Amino acid sequence: MKYLIIGNGVAGTTAAAHIRNLDKEGSIRIITEEAYPYYSRIRLIHFLGGEVDEKDLVIKKADWYEEQNIELSLNTEVVDIDINKKEVFISPDDRIHYDRLLLATGGVSFVPPISGANSEGVFTLRTLKDANEILEFVKRVINVSL
Ligand SMILES: Cc1cc2nc3c(=O)[nH]c(=O)nc-3n(C[C@H](O)[C@H](O)[C@H](O)COP(=O)(O)OP(=O)(O)OC[C@H]3O[C@@H](n4cnc5c(N)ncnc54)[C@H](O)[C@@H]3O)c2cc1C
């Protein structure tokens, strides 16, 4: 059995762990467009506040995926799904077959149509990438004003 999970947040990762408990033999692959293994979004504010390091945010490290025999594909965006052929597309020509598919794709930050919302220095905070961009901006602004 080939299980394919799109999304490596709490939903996708917890599902993968439960599937592995129930099926020791099946192949499990998690795909995420993010560059990091499962990390705590909740602690991103502590990361921004300098209370924890990037590595402390990571909940499931590489050895966990190895022990569980779960393949994790980082930096991989799913762009389309063909449910009839049971294939997902990670580029127009690159497809992955599955027997069971789980969409655990979470949500996206909604930006209300407020005047100035697109200005420099206005951010949303959902991912570790967002947090690093905020920190880089803050460092740049502080350097300019000194
Ligand atoms: C700063 C912050 C603080 C929070 N604090 C709390 C809290 O205190 N308590 C609480 O209950 N909740 C909190 N939340 C909300 C909580 O983090 C979310 O409810 C939770 O992350 C949802 O988990 P999920 O697995 O459903 O989705 P997500 O964590 O959003 O994971 C979905 C994953 O799917 C990936 N993905 C989406 N589309 C694709 C695609 N096409 N191809 C490949 N990958 C894709 C995304 O990149 C992402 O990695 C907080 C969130 C943030 C941002």
pLDDT for 145 equals: 64
Percentage of the residues of the chain whose pLDDT score is greater than 70: 98
pLDDT for 10 equals: 98
DSSP letters along 38-107, please? SB-STTHHHHHTTSS-HHHHBSS-HHHHHHTTEEEE-S----EEETTTTEEEEETTEEEE-SEEEE----
Domain 2-107 bears CATH identifier 3.50.50.60: yes
Banded model confidence at residue 15, pLDDT cuts 50, 70, 90: very high
Determine the atom of ligand 1 nearest the C-alpha atom of 11.
25
Q: Which helix (H) or strand (E) is 145 found in, with range?
A: helix 128-145
| CB-CB neighbours of 64 under 10 Å | 16
- Is the CB of 77 inside a 6 Å radius of any atom of ligand 1? yes
Average pLDDT of span 33-43: 97
- Is the CB of 37 inside a 6 Å radius of any atom of ligand 1? no
Domain ranges within the chain, ordered by starting residue: 2-107
Q: Which helix (H) or strand (E) is 4 found in, with range?
A: strand 2-6
Least confident span in 27-31, 61-65, 69-73, 107-111: 107-111
Mean pLDDT (the chain, rounded): 95
Residue identifier of the C-alpha nearest atom 50 of ligand 1:
42
Q: 4, 31, 41, 45: which to mutate for ligand 1, most atoms within 8 A of CB?
A: 41
pLDDT in tens, 61-93: 999 999 999 999 999 999 999 999 999 999 878
**pTM of this prediction?**
0.94
Residue 27 alpha carbon to ligand 1 centre in Å: 24
pLDDT in tens, 118-144: 999 999 999 999 999 999 999 998 876
